[in-house]
Chains A and B, each alone.
Chain A
Amino acid sequence: MNTQGKVFKYPDNVDTDVIIPARYLNTPDARELALHCMEDIDTEFVKAVKPGDVMVAGWNFGCGSSREHAPLVIKTCGTGCVIAKSFARIFYRNAINIGLPILECEEAAEEISANDEVKVDFNTGTITDLTTGKTYQAQPFPPFIQNIIKAGGLLKSLKEGENNG
Chain B
Amino acid sequence: MGMTMTQKILAAHAGLDKVAAGQLISARLDIVLGNDITTPVAVNEFKKAGFEKVFDKDRVAIVLDHFVPNKDIKAAEQSKTCREFACSHCVSHFYDVGRMGIEHALLPEQGVVTAGDCIIGADSHTCTYGALGAFSTGVGSTDMAAGMATGMAWFKVPSAIRFDLTGRLPANCSGKDVILTIIGMIGVDGALYKSMEFTGDGAHSLSMDDRLCICNMAIEAGAKNGIFPVDDVTMAYLAGRSEGTPVVFQADSDAEYEKTIHIDLSKIVPTIACPHLPENTHPASALHHIKVDQVVIGSCTNGRLEDMKAAYNILKGKKITDGIRCIIIPGTMQILRECVERGWYTAFIDAGAVVSTPTCGPCLGGYMGILAAGERCIATTNRNFVGRMGHVDSEVYLASPHTAAASALTGFITEYKEA
Tell me whether B364 and A60 are in contact (CB under 8 A): no
B50 within 8 A of A: yes
A27 within 8 A of B: yes
Knowing A28-B41, A60-B189, A67-B38 are in contact, say whether A17-B387 is a contact too (CB < 8 A): yes
Q: Quick check: which of A47-55, A87-95, A115-123, A132-140 contacts chain B, the rest being far away?
A: A87-95
Tell me whether A156 and B49 are in contact (CB under 8 A): yes
B360: nearest chain-A partner, CB-CB: A22
A115-165 contacts to B (CB < 8 Å): 142, 144, 153-156, 158-159
Q: Quick check: which of B144-152, B228-236, B410-418 contacts chain A, the rest being far away?
A: B144-152
Q: Quick check: which of B66-74, B84-92, B169-177, B250-258 contacts chain A, the rest being far away?
A: B66-74
Tell me whether A26 and B74 are in contact (CB under 8 A): yes
CA distance A8 to B56 in the complex (A): 44
A71 to B: closest C-beta gap in Å: 8
Knowing A13-B277, A26-B71, A93-B140 are in contact, say whether A88-B385 is a contact too (CB < 8 A): no
A40 to B: closest C-beta gap in Å: 4
CA distance A13 to B276 in the complex (A): 10
Tell me whether A66 and B123 are in contact (CB under 8 A): yes
Tell me whether A154 and B189 are in contact (CB under 8 A): no
* 8 Å CB contact of B189 from A28, A66, A88: A88
A147 to B: closest C-beta gap in Å: 11
B146 to A: closest C-beta gap in Å: 5
Which B residues are CB-close (under 8 A) to A17? 364-365, 383, 385-388
Which A residues are CB-close (under 8 A) to B192? 60, 86, 88-89
A110 within 8 A of B: no
Which A residues are CB-close (under 8 A) to B270? none
CA distance A17 to B188 in the complex (A): 15
The interface size of chain B toward A, counting residues with CB under 8 Å, comes to 55
Knowing A65-B364, A66-B123, A66-B124 are in contact, say whether A154-B142 is a contact too (CB < 8 A): yes
A106 within 8 A of B: no
Which A residues are CB-close (under 8 A) to B289? none
B224 within 8 A of A: yes
A85: nearest chain-B partner, CB-CB: B189
B132-185 contacts to A (CB < 8 Å): 138-143, 145-146, 149-150, 154
Which B residues are CB-close (under 8 A) to A102? none
Which B residues are CB-close (under 8 A) to A21? 365, 387
Knowing A23-B365, A159-B49 are in contact, say whether A68-B71 is a contact too (CB < 8 A): no
Which B residues are CB-close (under 8 A) to A158? 49, 146, 149-150
B40: nearest chain-A partner, CB-CB: A28
B42: nearest chain-A partner, CB-CB: A68
Which B residues are CB-close (under 8 A) to A60? 188-189, 192, 222
B260 within 8 A of A: no
Q: List 27 A-B contacts (CB under 8 A).
A: A13-B189, A17-B385, A17-B387, A21-B365, A22-B388, A23-B370, A26-B78, A27-B77, A40-B386, A40-B392, A64-B383, A65-B124, A66-B124, A68-B38, A68-B122, A68-B140, A68-B142, A71-B140, A86-B189, A88-B189, A90-B124, A90-B140, A93-B143, A97-B146, A144-B24, A155-B146, A158-B49
Interface contacts beyond A68-B41, A89-B222: sample of 15 additional A-B pairs, CB < 8 Å, sorted by A: A17-B365, A22-B388, A26-B74, A27-B78, A28-B44, A41-B386, A59-B189, A65-B123, A88-B222, A89-B224, A90-B139, A90-B219, A94-B143, A155-B145, A158-B149
Query: Which B residues fall within an 8 A CB radius of A?
Result: 24, 37-38, 40-41, 44-46, 48-50, 66-67, 71-72, 74-75, 77-78, 81, 121-124, 126, 138-143, 145-146, 149-150, 154, 188-189, 192-193, 219, 222, 224, 277, 364-366, 370, 383, 385-388, 390, 392
